[in-house]
Amino acid sequence: MSGRNTVIRSLHDVGLAAWFGGSLMGAVGLNGAAEHEGSTVAARARIASVGWTKWVPVNAAAIGAHLFGGGGLLAVNAHRVRTQHGVGASTTAKTVVTAAALAATAYARVLGKKVEWASSSNPDDAEKGARHPVDVGKARRQLACVQWTVPALTGCLVVLNALHGEQQRPLEQLHGMWEHARSMTPLIP
């Protein structure tokens, strides 16, 4: 790397940290508090829904920052992705895991809204729930599972991010580019 990319790296890392940390705190803390404080299934769903709904704009901003920073890092490191042995594969893995985390996050939001509407005492929400009928028990089980999937996937992104950091060490870059050159030119020993 020839220059510093502090702003885009910070957007990438802080966005990922908030996405991971917020999803983990929600699965552990928010859902745990709702289970402890809610006297009925509907009350627990309402408590959790209020918290998750308040988190949505912050989570969206965190994901946006992470994606913007990731795109910027990809642009400034495109030469390494092409030429350094192993970087292309880890970048591909990171892209696939990011897409899976985005899909899981979106699916959790859809399920969360359906559970919220089905368990709400608000007539407007009840009407929306009637338009989108759902087996609440099944949706709650799926939601519990997918809410743990998001921190698992974003945790994998943290690990892949650490791998990318290791691949940027000067000796790793030199070794990786040498290995790439050797694989492209069969005559080099």
Q: Which amino acid is at 64?
A: G
What is residue 122's DSSP assignment?
Answer: S
Can you give the pLDDT at residue 118? 81
**Inter-residue contact 52 to 26 (CB < 8 Å):** yes
Contacts of 115 (CB under 8 A, 6+ apart): 45, 49, 134, 136, 139, 140, 143
* pLDDT averaged per 10 residues, the chain (length 189): 81 98 96 91 88 95 98 93 89 97 96 84 71 81 95 97 83 62 65
Can you give the pLDDT at residue 131? 75
pTM: 0.82
Place of tokens 């290995």: 179
Can you give the pLDDT at residue 171? 67
Can you give the pLDDT at residue 134? 76
Distance CA 41, CA 118 (A): 11
Distance CA 19, CA 157 (A): 11
Residue 14, judged by CB atoms within 10 A of its CB (0-12, 13-18, 19+), counts as middle
